[in-house]
């Protein structure tokens, strides 16, 4: 059996090695248009920033290593130009010489990845404008930084590459601006959760231009100018364009392979395309979204590796299936960590899904142990099934651990309330006896059984301030004095039972006569306000607890970028 693989890196290189492990007699050929057959794509920004000092650390396998260890013929700087599925041949061009030849195959695997999106705007041919996708891109950026010593850079796009580059270039001492077309960074987070990212970026001196639409670029001998739709201009000495990627389907399309509704190659669970004996994996394919079952494009290394292994199994006669992608991801943002899995609330609304959500702000480990830091956790779940739809976590140490536990529970079909039953490792330096993941389950159970009613950040501005409801802050007077939501009066939790008379009270315990006031309660993290609600509800009040606490609310309020802005917002907050 002869297998030809077009594209290396995560999917193609993984598939090649797996085929060899399964079939010692197979003839395996990899065709890679770049100069590197297998490299750590996710590590590229950290090489530019000097965090990874040795370039060789990024190249996981060389053609020589593949040949020596696996007896695989890995060819770099060669590009597949056409596929003939009838004759089972691939036309290939050697990029250094221009020579063209054909390679036959029994099984063909496509893993060409995705290309950076470069908008059709004036000035994108500037030698000060870069994209970051390949090792060659990385070398070009690092060489520019080392040789030209720029003092400033603009990142167009607030996704993974944009934010990682912002951190690494800022670490080199550059003045950094991030320009984002939408109202918040990092679209795998909802706007409320992204507020914490905005705050961290600003704290580190990064300027943010949100709701900012780029219309073109202008290059001078010393600068590159980014022109925005509102007429404003931002200049720097270099710009990195990181507005997204699109699947590289040109080869597949010319060969007659069927594409899906998202523009990627359509594959089944066995990673088979619409043409017999041709498989596809990685950023180029559409896969099933784990939460909805709908086609999705997920450009992540983890899924690509798994797909490569599954395709290899099926090429070798086994029966393996890819069971959908959750899009689990994590990113470091200076000292913070942001992680997510599954769908956002914005997407759940768009899909018309009936969902519930919990937001809480627990410590990453026992609060009495030195160094405890608060994390913000947001979990969505379907109603009435209570199956987990997605999670977002922002904080410091322990964020990745909690996200991975929730992602695993989601994959295994657990309900959100089942999280309370998980037995997780505990010691004061690492967790609390009731881990933050357990707390998600406790809160969700309280909500779904009626012990707790919530209100959320997006509702606060719309609450009546005319006395028809009670707005209550149960923190200490000192906490309240340092900042509080407009219209909320302060009665500390420990004084609440003795001061119930200050609130309008129902006529009989346990009953809420029509027309009586509802009490909306807030505290720093959501714990004391929950305790206050339990007191109030058992004294007959209708009580709503603020999800996430005042710390979270203040960040959301401060970092909100109004959708109605006609000029970029956010930069003036730096």
Tell whether omega for the bond before 259 is within 30 degrees of 0, i.e. cis. no
One-character DSSP codes across 321-354: ----B---EEEEETTEEEEEEE--HHHHHHTT--
- Give the whole-angstrom CA distance, residue 459 versus residue 546: 10
The β-bridge partners of 470 are 519
For 317, residues 6+ apart whose C-beta sits below 8 A from its C-beta are none
The residues that are catalytic are 42
**Residue from 284, 296, 428 nearest 368 by CA:** 428
- Give the whole-angstrom CA distance, residue 240 versus residue 226: 11
The pair of structure tokens assigned to 276 is 């017999």
User: What number of CA atoms fall less than 13 Å from residue 1's CA on the CB side?
Assistant: 18
For 30, residues 6+ apart whose C-beta sits below 8 A from its C-beta are 5, 6, 7, 8, 12, 13, 16, 37, 66, 72, 73, 74, 75
In this structure, the number of other CB atoms found within 10 A of the CB of residue 564 comes to 8
How deeply is 487 buried, as exposed, middle or buried, from its count of CB atoms within 10 A (0-12, 13-18, 19+)?
Answer: middle
- Give the whole-angstrom CA distance, residue 49 versus residue 132: 13
For 110, residues 6+ apart whose C-beta sits below 8 A from its C-beta are 6, 7, 251, 252, 257, 265, 273, 278, 279, 280, 281, 284
- Give the whole-angstrom CA distance, residue 174 versus residue 239: 12
27-32 and 2-6 strand pairing: parallel
Contact status, residue 326 vs residue 343, Cβ threshold 8 Å: no
How many residues are recorded in the chain? Answer: 574
Run of H or E residues at 93 = strand 89-94
Run of H or E residues at 317 = none
Contact status, residue 552 vs residue 376, Cβ threshold 8 Å: yes
3-state secondary structure 193-219: HHHHHHHHHHHCCCEEEECCCEEEEEE
CA angle 202, 203, 206 (to 5 degrees): 40
Q: What is the C-alpha end-to-end distance of the chain, expressed in Å? A: 61
């Amino acid at each position: 059996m002869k297998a030809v693989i077009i594209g290396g890196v995560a999917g193609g290189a993984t598939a090649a090695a797996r085929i060899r492990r399964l079939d010692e007699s197979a003839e395996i050929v990899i065709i890679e248009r770049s100069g590197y057959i297998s490299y750590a794509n996710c590590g590229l920004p950290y090489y530019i920033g000097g965090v990874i000092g040795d370039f060789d650390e990024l190249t996981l396998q060389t053609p020589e290593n593949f040949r020596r260890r696996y007896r695989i013929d890995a060819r770099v700087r060669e590009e597949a130009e056409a596929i003939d599925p009838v004759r089972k041949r691939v036309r290939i061009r050697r990029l250094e010489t221009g020579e063209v030849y054909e390679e036959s195959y029994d099984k063909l695997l496509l893993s060409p990845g995705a290309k950076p999106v470069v908008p059709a705007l004036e000035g994108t041919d500037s030698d000060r404008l870069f994209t970051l996708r390949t090792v060659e891109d990385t070398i070009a950026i690092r060489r520019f930084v080392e040789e030209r010593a720029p003092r400033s850079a603009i990142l167009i796009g607030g996704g993974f590459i944009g934010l990682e580059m912002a951190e690494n270039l800022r670490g080199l001492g550059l003045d950094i601006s991030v320009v984002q077309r939408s109202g918040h960074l990092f679209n795998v987070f909802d706007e409320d959760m992204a507020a914490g990212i905005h705050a961290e970026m600003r704290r580190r001196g990064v300027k943010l231009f949100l709701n900012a639409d780029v219309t073109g670029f202008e290059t001078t001998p010393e600068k590159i100018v980014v022109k925005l739709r509102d007429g404003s201009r931002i200049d720097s000495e270099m710009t990195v364009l990181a507005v997204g990627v699109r699947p590289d389907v040109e080869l597949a399309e010319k060969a007659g392979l069927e594409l899906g509704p998202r523009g990627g190659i359509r594959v089944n669970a066995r990673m088979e395309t619409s043409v017999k004996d041709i498989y596809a994996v990685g950023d180029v394919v559409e896969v099933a979204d784990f939460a909805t079952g709908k086609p999705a494009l997920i450009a992540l290394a983890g899924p690509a590796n798994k797909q490569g292994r599954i395709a290899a199994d099926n090429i070798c006669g086994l029966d393996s299936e890819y069971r959908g992608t959750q899009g689990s991801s994590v990113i470091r943002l200076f000292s913070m960590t942001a992680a997510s899995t599954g769908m956002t609330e914005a997407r759940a609304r768009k899909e018309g899904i009936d969902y519930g959500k919990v937001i809480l702000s627990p410590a990453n480990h026992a609060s009495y142990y030195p160094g405890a830091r608060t994390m913000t956790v947001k979990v969505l779940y379907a109603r009435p099934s209570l199956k987990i739809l997605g999670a977002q976590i922002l904080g410091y140490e322990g964020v990745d651990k909690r996200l991975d536990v929730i992602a695993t529970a989601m994959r295994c079909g657990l309900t959100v309330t089942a999280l309370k039953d998980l037995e997780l490792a505990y010691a004061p330096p690492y967790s609390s006896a009731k881990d933050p993941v357990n707390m998600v389950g406790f809160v969700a159970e309280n909500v779904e059984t009626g012990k707790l009613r919530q209100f959320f950040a997006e509702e606060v501005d719309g609450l009546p301030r005319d006395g028809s409801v009670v707005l209550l802050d149960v923190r200490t007077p000192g906490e309240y004095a340092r900042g509080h939501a407009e219209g909320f009066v302060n009665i500390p939790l420990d004084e609440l039972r003795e001061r119930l008379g200050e609130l309008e009270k129902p006529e009989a315990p346990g009953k809420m006569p029509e027309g009586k006031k509802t009490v909306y309660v807030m505290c720093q993290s959501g714990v004391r306000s929950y305790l206050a609600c339990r007191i109030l509800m058992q004294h007959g009040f209708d009580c709503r607890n603020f999800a996430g606490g005042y710390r979270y609310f203040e960040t959301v309020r401060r970092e909100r970028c109004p959708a109605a802005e006609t000029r970029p917002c956010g930069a003036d907050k730096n």
